[in-house]
Structure 1
Amino acid sequence: MNLFIDDLESTDFIDVKNTLYNIIKERVWIKSDKPFKLASGVTSSDYFNMKNLGLDGLALAAAGLLKMIQKTGVASVGGLESGAIPLSVAVSCMTLAQNNTPPLEWFYVRKASKGHGTGSTIEGRPKPPVIIMDDVITSGGSSLQAIHAIKNQNIDYVGAVCVLFRGDAEHRILLEKEGSFQHIFSHSDFK
């Protein structure tokens, strides 16, 4: 079941998507004859470094993700460090600035429990139900790690969203087994 909005063809979403596409193409998308090794272990002749979005690109990505999840009834957004941190903070701040009541909380999941203090794997204040976010998903490994960490804490999870999905049908199925899944762009948008 898809909980996300179905009107991704609305004018305001298309405007955000078109402007974000140009920013990704200019600042984020790197092509090379020498293959890049991705976090998933796969190699590719192109790489998307979403840390180069800049503030305007981050705001557009957050606006696009927020548009996708606005009718899900979630209370928190987050994901695995580090790709999800700026996105979830931006989405959360956007809900506060727009006077959403209540604004969305944000959180992040550590790749490994910290060895000091509380030893927490999850940082922040995830209020259920939650959405997992990521900048780029290829195999889904990082998102699945965050999803499983949330579920292991008995926090209600409804779905995942990302800016760019590089994966194939098999990777999509893995994510959809856990809940709804949606993305702003697919890898084929940049071919």
Structure 2
Amino acid sequence: MTMPDINYDILRRVAETASAYRYKDIWITVGPEDGQLVIRVHDAKPTCEDCAIFPIAKVDYGSSPSVEVATIGSESNPVDLLNLEVPAGQMIPAGTYAADAVFWSQSAVEKFMIPYYASVYGDQADVVVQTLLTVLKPAAQDGSEPDPAFAIAHLPGSEYVTLANEGLPHLFLIRQSGRVEGAAKR
């Protein structure tokens, strides 16, 4: 078995993925797929050729608090943050995911997201930060954007399931209509 070269960037992303699953035992694999390294999470110990396997033990500090209701939007069009429907082509697998953080103002993006993502993406930070700064800018007043984004949701585990080079890992736009889509690089 030929192990892939694992650099600091991949290890940072493995650590970020493990952080999203801190309440359960998992295995993370890093292996080649379509010419790139892909990070995957498994509930049982996987067997794979040409991949690195990282066993991740849960942190034992009690159970997480239960959140039963979390919505954003308007009274006429609420969006259930615990059941965000991510369509096929945006994540693998497509399905329903619960957000672990949501940002709905440019100020929150600048104060909390920019420092975090600049740190995580290191030498790629300039592209990521520029993308984040433009995501929630107000839509043109000419009506050219009929369904503007009003929030950015961070979905646990989306670091490893977001399609490669298709957008910003972890981040999904919530549009005025309630539609959820990956935060594409601009």
Q: When the two structures are superposed, what TM-score results if normalisation uses the length of structure 1?
A: 0.28
Tell which structure's C-alpha radius of gyration is larger: 2
- Where is the helix percentage greater, Structure 1 or Structure 2? 1
